[in-house]
Amino acid sequence: MAKKKVIKKSWAEPFKIKVVEPIKMTSRAHREKAAEEAGYNTFLLKSEDVYIDLLTDSGTNAMSDYQWAGMMLGDEAYAGSKNFYYLWDNVKKYYGMPYFVPTHQGRAAEHMISQILIRKGDYVPGNMYFTTTRLHQELAGATFVDVIIDQAHDPANEHPFKGNIDLKKLDKLVKKVGSKKIAYVSMAGPVNMAGGQPFSMKNLIEVHDYCKENKIKLWFDATRACENAFFIKEREKGYKEKSIAAILKEMCSYFDGLWVSAKKDLMVNIGGFLATRNKKVFEEARNMVVVYEGLHTYGGLAGRDMEAMARGIEEMVEYDNVRMRVKQVEYCGNELEKYGIPFVRPIGGHAIFLDAKKILSHLQQNQFPAQTLAAEIYIDSGVRGMERGIVSAGRDPETGDHRYPKLELVRLTFPRRVYTQAHIDVMVESIASVYEYRKKIKGLKMVYEPKYLRFFQGRFERL
Ligand SMILES: *Cc1c(COP(=O)(O)O)cnc(C)c1O
């Protein structure tokens, strides 16, 4: 019998399991009923009815024993908690920003920075929109303009840095409206809506230089910055030998400030913050946080939450930790590929984005292909993903029509340190089986539509 040749190429989780949370196995009939009751919106399913939950990686991560131990050290003083000062120290140390304001999650920081920097009639160019980010920019009176490179809108394009900003697009906007009308450039990385695609350091430096020359502020949605740093290390010349921490620090050095949802990179269940090198912005944010979140030394968080965040920062920059995360997503993508299932290329940092437009090519976009596919995968196996397409894109505030995004995707997002390779195998087989019977799947119609962020609460019926 031929023996297998040894090739050392596998990676494994840099942890062992200490506590387990049982999950429920359900029947297809049970899930059919659950999906109908949830209006075919995976956001409205009960978590109990879900087997493998890939709805989001937001706040769904497994904390380490080091973070849990820190929870017991919560200093729950109303003012001046020692956890706040420890967290602030780590923000300075790892993000290189001197000023810091905690918030209960990322969108609270987005709200503050939008209200502080935007005047009515301003423009905010960004590398593709993010739902809550753009909404806060619009609520503050700005028009968001997408200046990401064209390749980001093509799910088959293999560009290694699809999160890059197209400087020609940015310059065109600046020439058209004048730099005074640009509230700030909003840069995120990796870009969630483009499929978890990173920007390169080279592009960031070019954008930074352009902004400096034109006296435009540059702000960073650093929610997933460590994943971006990992891609820079893997793909960009000159960064192979640098640590994730060093790359993160360099990235941050080009921005005036940043906001973070700690529910992602920092591997906690709740939290966020705003950090900046601009003292004036800091002072305004510190004042504003009192109105919306709580005193500036807790910002809507418990002392224990801030302790877990501070410790999460130390863990998020560990190479093995980021590698495990990104490689798990890559493993899933490679397995899906074996069945010929179309998804956004290259494989992103936090999620697989199935190309629902291709998979359900017999549906019109206003029959909600991605919404339909997400519901179908849930019914097949209890795997919960979410829509990123026409429902998430919402309506044009001017015309009131649906926005028709080029991409119609189902996002399967991996919580950090939660699922094993065996879970992924089960999930891949389910998607492959749905893919086999895809032609029989009928679309949906929307029967309830909330005004804001309709993907969270909208309801659908089968056509
Ligand atoms: C999650 C997220 C946000 C919003 O943060 P919340 O903590 O959910 O309010 C903003 N930007 C990006 C890139 C995100 O992933």
pLDDT at 63: 97
Domain locations in the chain as residue ranges: 28-57+319-462, 65-316
pLDDT at 96: 98
pLDDT band at 26 (very low <50, low <70, confident <90, very high): very high
In the residue annotation, 130 being an active-site residue is answered as: yes
3-state secondary structure of 232: helix
Q: What residue ranges in 52-98 does DSSP mark as E strands?
A: 52-53
In the residue annotation, 425 being an active-site residue is answered as: no
| CATH code that applies to domain 65-316 | 3.40.640.10
Q: How many residues does the chain have?
A: 463
Catalytic residue among 100, 220, 455, 460: 455
Among 199, 210, 192, 219, which Cα is nearest to 149's? 199
Q: Give yes or no for residue 263 CB within 6 A of ligand 1.
A: yes
Cβ burial, residue 80 (10 Å; 0-12/13-18/19+): exposed
Which atom, in ligand 1's list, is nearest to the CA of 108?
Answer: 9
pLDDT digits (tens, 9 = 90+) for 74-129: 999 999 999 999 999 999 999 999 999 999 999 999 999 999 999 999 999 999 98
Q: pTM (2 decimals)?
A: 0.92
pLDDT band at 1 (very low <50, low <70, confident <90, very high): confident
Handedness of CA 201, 202, 204, 208 (dihedral sign): positive
DSSP state of 73: T
pLDDT band at 193 (very low <50, low <70, confident <90, very high): confident
98: preceding bond cis by omega (within 30 degrees): no
Catalytic residue among 15, 66, 78, 339: 78
Choose one of 132, 135, 453, 456 to mutate for the ligand 1 pocket test, by most ligand atoms within 8 angstroms of C-beta: 132
pLDDT at 234 over 90: yes
pLDDT at 9: 83
pLDDT at 151: 95
| 126 bridge partner residues | 146, 186
Average of per-residue pLDDT values in the chain: 96
pLDDT at 155: 83
In the residue annotation, 388 being an active-site residue is answered as: yes
pLDDT digits (tens, 9 = 90+) for 165-188: 999 999 999 999 999 999 999 999
pLDDT at 194: 82
In the residue annotation, 455 being an active-site residue is answered as: yes
pLDDT band at 3 (very low <50, low <70, confident <90, very high): confident
pLDDT digits (tens, 9 = 90+) for 304-355: 999 999 999 999 999 999 999 999 999 999 999 999 999 998 998 899 999 9
CB 102, CB 301: distance < 8 Å: yes
Find the helix packing angle between 28-37 and 369-381, rounded to 10°: 140
Which fold would CATH assign to domain 28-57+319-462? Aspartate Aminotransferase, domain 1 (3.90.1150)
The rounded Å distance from CA 110 to ligand 1 centre is 9
pLDDT digits (tens, 9 = 90+) for 375-411: 999 999 999 999 999 999 899 888 999 999 988 999 9
In the residue annotation, 78 being an active-site residue is answered as: yes
Residues 6+ apart with CB under 8 A from 15: 64, 417
444-447, long-range: CB < 8 A, 24+ apart: 444/40, 444/367, 444/368, 444/371, 444/372, 444/375, 445/367, 445/368, 446/368, 446/391, 447/39
pLDDT digits (tens, 9 = 90+) for 265-292: 999 999 999 999 999 999 999 999 999 9
What mean pLDDT do residues 148-157 have?
92
pLDDT band at 360 (very low <50, low <70, confident <90, very high): very high
**C-alpha–C-alpha distance, residues 106 and 59, integer Å:** 11
Q: What angle do CA 432, 157, 442 make, to 5 degrees?
A: 40
